[in-house]
């Protein structure tokens, strides 16, 4: 009886030892295969010119999925019932998912932003009531820097599903002004002055053409709608420079820039 038990134990040890060795071999080879697959995916993404942020996200997600499959294969080789293991893993995943529903929504939003690229790092955007330059796109949040150097952190969930304005999406932008002169001033001269200032600025594009026309006969002024196209990076420089130049040039040529006023007439009875 003792010899039988001893032989059975030896057989069991040999059997489990072989399973462990095979499991270790599967693990080593599996990790090597995962590394090769990830290397191939990386090269494919780089060849297509995929955004670096999306490359890192895709490689991390792929590596995680492949390693989970490898762990399940190793556990199965050791004789563990994988059906029960997967069921427990699924239940745990569901519980964690329910507890972190908001976080998962932001995760999904980050993935959508990286895939569809409504904006990229360096773009100036307006979204969720905030505006600024995109400093960083993370998996859960996007970080903006405002012109006055504030840091704004916006969750990706709302950012991916809400409306946003990307001011940097196009290479050119139209600059709009409204310049006013007083009633009685020479409208043709004002028009010539505005057009001349814009024509003299090398940052202003010639096509589409500059637009300067009377747009409104307001209470205290005759207003000119003024439009010009510039490169996106020149927008604010042209906008502010033109305001200053028009003010100075109008004063030189005798054109009045009006301000709200009221005439009071007194009648003696």
Q: For the residues 131-139, what does the mean pLDDT come to?
A: 87
- Six token digits for residue 247: 């003010």
Instruction: Write down the H helix ranges in 117-217.
Output: 156-161, 187-199
4-13, 167-176, 199-208: lowest mean pLDDT where?
4-13
Measured CA distances, 171 to 118, 121, 125, 152 (Å): 15, 15, 14, 25
Taking 60 as the threshold, does the pLDDT of residue 1 lie above it?
no
d(CA 206, CA 188): 21
Rg (the chain; Cα; Å): 34
pTM of the full structure: 0.59
Tens of pLDDT, residue by residue over 203-243, are 999 999 999 999 999 988 999 999 999 999 999 999 999 99
Average pLDDT of every residue of the chain: 83
What are the structural domains of the chain? 2-99 (1.10.287.1260), 118-166 (2.30.30.60), 172-253 (3.30.70.100)
Higher pLDDT: 51 or 144? It is 144
The pLDDT of residue 102 is 64
Taking 60 as the threshold, does the pLDDT of residue 2 lie above it?
no
Taking 90 as the threshold, does the pLDDT of residue 104 lie above it?
no
The pLDDT of residue 244 is 96
């Amino acid at each position: 009886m003792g010899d039988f038990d001893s032989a059975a134990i030896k057989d069991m040890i040999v059997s489990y030892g072989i399973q462990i060795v095979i499991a270790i071999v599967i693990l080593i080879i599996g990790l090597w295969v995962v590394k090769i697959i990830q290397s191939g995916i990386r090269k494919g993404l780089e060849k297509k010119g995929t955004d670096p942020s999306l490359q890192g996200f895709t490689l991390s997600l792929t590596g995680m999925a492949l390693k989970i499959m490898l762990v399940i294969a190793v556990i199965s080789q050791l004789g563990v019932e994988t059906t029960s293991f997967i069921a427990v893993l699924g239940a745990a995943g569901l519980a964690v998912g329910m507890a972190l529903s908001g976080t998962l929504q932001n995760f999904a939003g980050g993935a959508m932003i990286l895939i569809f690229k409504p904006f990229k790092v360096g773009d100036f955007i307006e979204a969720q009531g905030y505006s600024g330059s995109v400093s960083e796109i993370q998996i859960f949040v996007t970080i903006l820097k405002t012109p006055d150097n504030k840091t704004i952190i916006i969750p990706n969930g709302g950012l991916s599903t809400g409306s946003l304005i990307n001011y940097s999406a196009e290479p050119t932008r139209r600059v709009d002004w409204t310049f006013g002169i007083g009633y009685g001033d020479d409208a043709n001269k004002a028009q010539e002055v505005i057009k001349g200032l814009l024509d003299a600025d090398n940052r202003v594009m010639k096509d589409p053409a500059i637009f300067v026309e009377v747009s409104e006969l307001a209470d205290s002024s005759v207003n000119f709608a003024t439009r010009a196209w510039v490169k996106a990076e020149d927008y604010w420089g042209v906008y502010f420079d033109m305001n200053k130049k028009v003010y100075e040039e109008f004063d030189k040529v005798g054109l009045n820039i009006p301000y709200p006023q009221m005439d009071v007439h007194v009648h003696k009875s």
